[in-house]
Structure 1
Amino acid sequence: MNTRAARSNPTSRLPLVSVITPVFNGATWLEESIDSALAQTFPFLEIIVVNDGSTDDSLAIARARARNHSRIRVIDQDNAGLPNARNRALKMARGAYMALLDADDAWLPNHLQLAMQAFERDPDLGLVHANIERVDADGARVNIPERSWHEDMDAFDALALRHEHVSCPTAVFSRAAIDMVGGFDPRFTGLGCEDRDLWLRIAARFRIRFLDQVTARYRLHPASMSAASERMALARQLLVAKLAVSAQGARLVSQMEAMIDSDLGLGLSEQGRHIRAIARQWAALHQSPTDRLIQRRFIGALLAPCRSLVPQYLPNPHRGRS
């Protein structure tokens, strides 16, 4: 993207990239998140902060930043959930491209520059994404997921079967894609997976590009692992139900149901509930016996009880999955 040429054009007043930042009680990290957008080497952006019924200082922080930066707009609404908050921002957005930045995440300075260069090279792309650095509540690095994009596998299939993953704080997508497939589905409110549902709809009609480098910091939060696992399982069941009635998704339903069992098995392994984890992975393998990821997970579940005894000699079965 030729930022020098664009900067010299004073008639170009509409922002090219609309940054979508919903916040619900995210005062602790909101300012850091906003500042990471303002610090982008690609300067042609607007930031839309949607305060989704916060009871902390989120709204005050957002308004204070907006008073000092004309590129920030703040929307205040009653709590409606993440999909609705993002959709509210999408309706207000003026950019030709949209970028997700939740209130507890942050971008590296070149995030938008790299994404927009990818769109410039291939204007028909619907979505560009990259890798993340996971950090804890204090901002200390936890890890960087090992990710790649399997060019030999259809993007829709890879996303549906969870062989590939799009990290939300790295996602930049076109207005053309949203206009064609719609926004976030409110039926996923409180469950999760509203992002993957959107990525699948985009992948069904557009090409996707993965940038093999870290462009964002994703914050991990302590939570009830079992509650999160059960909630995500419900979200994935809803996703399967949606895909079952679509021409492109119907053929993958059995494999997706197997992956739900496999993901639940991973959660059980992490909780130390090894017998139940093995049972889940066996059920997944029975449904989708040729899936190599599920095969590896089943073997990992069998080995997990031994891992604490000889951890230095056993491979990590979760490697590459986030």
Structure 2
Amino acid sequence: MCKEVSIIMPNYNCLAFLPKAIDSVLQQQDVRFELIVVDDGSTDGSLDWLLQAEKKYNQLRVITQPNLGVIAARNRAIKKANGQFIAFLDADDYWYPHKLRKQVDYMSANPNCGLTFTNYQHVDTQYQEIIDCFSYWPEFNKYRNPKNNDYQQLNNALSLLLIANVIGTSCVMVNKDIIERAGGFDPSLRSASDWDCWLRIALISDIGFSEDITMDYLMRPNSITANKQNRIDAMAEITERICHLGKVESTTRRKANARLLESYGEMHRENGNLKSAISYSYKAFKQSPHKRHLKHLCSDLKRLAILRVNKLCQV
């Protein structure tokens, strides 16, 4: 029987999380699916566990590769996928039951929609709730109707996504033909390849979303996304590329550039370099006046003043 959805899960040393993630897939109801797990050269016993699970569950296919990274794993699985639609799930995240059915129904009824995504919950390592994704991005508020949990088209998707990356990879479903037309995940990028892929899909198709919280995203302190310098540099490259390819309004460009400047400021702030953080916050505010930029700027100026006063008092 033809599969409706191919679920792609890269794995690298996630043995502690795999059972929960895979069980959340198996709990999906009324959907014909296959689960493709690409083991990316794990050394923690993950592959042995997966091979045993493959014998137990006929929906599960295990593919192995040397440690080539998540981009190579996802692109390889896309080529092997048999479903009309592709859903992504990272090995340390997990879905709520019935996540897939509504996405499949909406995308089947809207063939011009190349990608759908949902809201999701950030959780800590004790699985305690932190904040849902959509609430984290005030820029998204004007697009939302929190009382409507049905899927709806995201208007001006490219402009929004350049400013606010509200899409979590593990809540995404794409049309296989569309993601292949968009070129899949770019292996030349050192980071943010998922955001880049969603933007390129937004260039050629409609985007849909739902207010439903359909998954939990585990915030691990030592995750691969911790290298902020690589990520921000990649975001700058992607922003320039998309603005060149798409019809992006000047206002959106300024807001996107302000977001990059803000990200550099956050990185310097976390590294204790307040002077650089202040400089980037000021530049971000000039590009696109926003109360968040002003709040960071005032906070950094206050902290720097306190540090200087304390230094003078010690003389």
Fold match by TM threshold 0.5: yes
Cα contact 2:282–2:297 (8 A) shared by 1: no
- Cα offset, 1:264, TM superposition: 2.1
Compare the two structures and name the one with the higher helix fraction. 2
Partner of 1:228: 227
1:261 counterpart SS class = helix
Please show how residues 106-185 of structure 1 align to structure 2 within 5 Å: 106-145=94-133, 146=135, 148=140, 150-151=142-143, 154-162=156-164, 164-185=165-186
Q: Which shows bigger deviation, 262-271 or 52-61? A: 262-271
- Cα offset, 1:240, TM superposition: 2.8
Cα contact 2:116–2:174 (8 A) shared by 1: yes
Pair 92,250 (structure 1): closer, same or farther in 2 beyond 3 Å? farther
TM-score (norm 2): 0.83
Residues 124-150 of structure 1, C-alpha deviations (whole Å, 9 max, x = no match): 211110111112223232332315464
1:284 counterpart SS class = helix
Q: Distance in 2 between matches of 1:196 and 1:110?
A: 25
Partner of 1:277: 277
The amino acid that maps onto 1:285 is F
Cα contact 1:106–1:216 (8 A) shared by 2: yes
Pair 180,233 (structure 1): closer, same or farther in 2 beyond 3 Å? same
- Cα offset, 1:34, TM superposition: 0.9
Equivalent residue for 1:40, pick from 28, 33, 45 = 28
Percent identity between the two aligned chains: 29
TM-score (norm 1): 0.81
Pair 27,156 (structure 1): closer, same or farther in 2 beyond 3 Å? same
The amino acid that maps onto 1:300 is K
Partner of 2:201: 202
Equivalent residue for 1:302, pick from 297, 300, 304 = 297
Q: Distance in 1 between matches of 2:258 and 2:81?
A: 38
Cα contact 1:27–1:57 (8 A) shared by 2: yes
Q: Distance in 1 between matches of 2:223 and 2:17?
A: 21
Q: Distance in 1 between matches of 2:184 and 2:155?
A: 25
Is residue 2:20 matched to residue 1:18? no
Aligned residues: 288
Q: Distance in 2 between matches of 1:226 and 1:100?
A: 17
The amino acid that maps onto 2:237 is L
Partner of 2:76: 88
- Cα offset, 1:109, TM superposition: 0.6
Q: Which shows bigger deviation, 225-234 or 179-188? A: 225-234
Residues 149-198 of structure 1, C-alpha deviations (whole Å, 9 max, x = no match): 64485100111122x5101110001112123212100012xx32101111
Pair 307,130 (structure 1): closer, same or farther in 2 beyond 3 Å? farther
Q: Distance in 2 between matches of 1:199 and 1:107?
A: 20
Cα contact 2:200–2:242 (8 A) shared by 1: no
- Cα offset, 1:285, TM superposition: 2.5
Please show how residues 181-260 of structure 1 align to structure 2 within 5 Å: 181-188=182-189, 191-223=190-222, 228-248=227-247, 255-260=255-260
Please show how residues 69-108 of structure 1 align to structure 2 within 5 Å: 69-108=57-96
Equivalent residue for 1:56, pick from 32, 44, 60 = 44
Cα contact 1:243–1:253 (8 A) shared by 2: no
Q: Distance in 2 between matches of 1:111 and 1:259?
A: 31
Q: Distance in 1 between matches of 2:175 and 2:243?
A: 26
Pair 223,99 (structure 1): closer, same or farther in 2 beyond 3 Å? same
Pair 167,227 (structure 1): closer, same or farther in 2 beyond 3 Å? closer
Gaps of 5+ in 2: 144-153, 304-315
Q: Distance in 2 between matches of 1:38 and 1:227?
A: 30
Cα contact 2:158–2:203 (8 A) shared by 1: yes
Cα contact 1:133–1:144 (8 A) shared by 2: yes
The amino acid that maps onto 2:222 is A
